[in-house]
Structure 1
């Protein structure tokens, strides 16, 4: 009788342990299934936030590309502005407040026509740096379009090739924007009207800095894309023997 009771207790305890192990494995399975879903949701919201920041940056940069207050001279009530393609004179004495001409107008510059005591020889032509900055600004708008469409595509379907292109173009645009910043700052050290001593950075330049900040934040937000690309590059750099060993361990 004692032996029978011991057998029943042992059998019951084994079943209980088996049930616990089963429940534990089931719980682990649920957690493992929940983690990929959590990552997908996080990745989706990263892309949404990044998309909003990048679109805002693109709008700021495109709008202020046409803002003529990149470099500024102030002389009394007259404000002389040089943009990336146009020169302007701003004064309350004008009916519309501002008079502008294109860089291509040469001797018919608004500085000469609408400025105070300024001759054609006083006006410094736009530098090579500013002309390059204009081209780079147009190029950066195209890069923005590519990045925006890439973010939208990845949001719909996660694709490693598109993520690689997105990260590569993002790095390129960062370098382009930084180069534009240095070009404009370098040009601000020299007056574009010889009779005036000081040239300052205008509001368009500071709005451009704001657009760069928005873009850098937006680029950092979708950090899972950067992690995916880094992991892929790191994996491709591993020796084939080690890579095969890792894959066997994962599948076993």
Structure 2
């Protein structure tokens, strides 16, 4: 059934006031000359442009400007001359690795595209962490794309090159007989072997005297150190038992004093999984 009721916006429309009739003519104009749209050639006050037209043109202008600013630059990709068998452009590759920054340690899987790491996740096949990672491990890949990273070696805040750096270091080592090595704690066996070989390496000059590469001491210093635990073990048990690993799988009652074992303390990634084993409802 058709609705025969008629509605008015106000008394002006009901009484057909001249002002209302004049305004209604310009509400939906079919064509608006450019001079009228810009202000009747004289002033904006005499413009016949309605608010709806103004918003329509304003919206179009903003949309056009936004689209123009979002234009992406054209980047041409150079194909492989001899493509590696394991790499398919556009398809990600995963590599098993380990992460250690002096505090956090985790077996990880690195997602790469064309050799560029783009994402880090935990390795679920690890018997220690069960694939757990924290925010620092997960976000460590961002440091590879930091725009403030040094792009070349520096000497006294001046850009240099590797050949110059290597020559300067070798010269200083050859002229020194008492070399100190300062580093953080290193858990890599290969890195430790290299430093050990460097410490034990000696050279003789023309007269048969020992010179260069004669490091007398290797100092390891960590900003966040757990040496107090080692010293406490020596005092308690009479021997250096290193840093212990705790088995929270069998602990039903835990008293933690200054040790955030599910946050940053020791093997926190492993402790989180172990702690959850005894917290399952029976």
Normalising by structure 1, we get a TM-score of: 0.21
- Structure with higher Rg: it is 2
- Structure richer in helix, relative to its length: 1
Normalising by structure 2, we get a TM-score of: 0.19
- Structure richer in strand, relative to its length: 2
